[in-house]
Structure 1
Amino acid sequence: MIGIIGTLVMLIALQIVLGFDNLLYIALESKKAPIEKQEFVRKIGITIAIILRLALLFILVNLVEKFKNPFLISESKFVSFEMNLHSLIILFGGGFILYTSIKEIWHMIIFNDNHEEKTKASTNRVIFMIVLMNLVFSFDSILSAMALTDNFMIMAISIILGGVLMILAANKVSEFLQKNRKYEVLGLFILFVVGVMLLSEGGEKADLKILENSIHAMNKATFYFIISILAFVDIVQSKYQKNLIKKNKLQ
Structure 2
Amino acid sequence: MFDFSVFASAEAWVSLLTLTFMEIVLGIDNIIFISIVVNRLDPAQQKRGRTIGLVLALLIRIGLLMSISWIVGLKDPLFSIDVPWASHDFGVTGRDIILLIGGLFLIGKSTTEIHTKLQGEEEHEGATPTYTSMGRIIVQIVLIDIVFSFDSILTAVGLVDNVLIMILAVILSMGVMLVFSGVVSDFVNRNPTIKMLALSFLIMIGVMLVMESFHKEIEKGYIYFAMFFSLIVELMNMRLRKKSPPVQLRESQYD
Tell me, yes or no, whether TM beats 0.5: yes
Tell me, which stretches of 5 or more residues in structure 2 are unaligned?
1-7, 249-255
Over 3 Å counting, the alpha-carbon distance change for 1:225 and 1:62 in structure 2 is closer
TM-score (norm 1): 0.83
Q: Is the 8 A contact 2:60 2:149 kept in 1?
A: no
State the one-letter code of the partner of 1:68.
K
| Matched position secondary structure for 1:71 | strand
| Matched position secondary structure for 1:121 | coil
Deviation at 1:104, TM superposition (A): 0.9
Partner residue in 1 for 2:169:
158
Deviation at 1:65, TM superposition (A): 4.1
2:47 to 22, 39, 44: 39
Verify: 1:100 aligned to 2:109, yes or no.
yes
Partner residue in 1 for 2:210:
199
Deviation at 1:189, TM superposition (A): 0.9
Cα offsets for 1:155-210 (capped at 9, x unmatched)? 11111111111211211101212332331111111111111111112221xxxxxx
TM-score (norm 2): 0.82
2:65 to 42, 57, 63: 57
Structure exhibiting the larger radius of gyration computed from Cα positions:
2
Q: Is the 8 A contact 1:95 1:195 kept in 2?
A: yes
1:77 to 73, 77, 84: 84
Question: CA separation in 1, counterparts of 2:225 and 2:55?
Answer: 31
Partner residue in 2 for 1:22:
30
The number of residue pairs the alignment matches comes to 235
Deviation at 1:247, TM superposition (A): 7.5
Partner residue in 2 for 1:221:
221
Q: Is the 8 A contact 1:45 1:128 kept in 2?
A: no
Question: CA separation in 2, counterparts of 1:202 and 1:133?
Answer: 15
Q: Is the 8 A contact 2:114 2:196 kept in 1?
A: yes
State the one-letter code of the partner of 2:101.
F
Verify: 1:3 aligned to 2:14, yes or no.
no
Partner residue in 2 for 1:88:
97
Moved more, 100-109 or 217-226: 217-226
Tell me, which stretches of 5 or more residues in structure 1 are unaligned?
205-215
Cα offsets for 1:44-83 (capped at 9, x unmatched)? 1211221121111111x22244211111321133796321
| Matched position secondary structure for 2:91 | strand
Question: Aligned residues: percent identity?
Answer: 29
More helix by share: 1
State the one-letter code of the partner of 1:15.
E
Displaced runs of 4+ in structure 1, greater than 6 A?
A: none
Question: CA separation in 2, counterparts of 1:247 and 1:156?
Answer: 51
Cα offsets for 1:90-110 (capped at 9, x unmatched)? 111111111111111111221
Deviation at 1:117, TM superposition (A): 4.1
Q: Is the 8 A contact 2:61 2:170 kept in 1?
A: yes
CA RMSD of aligned residues (A): 2.5
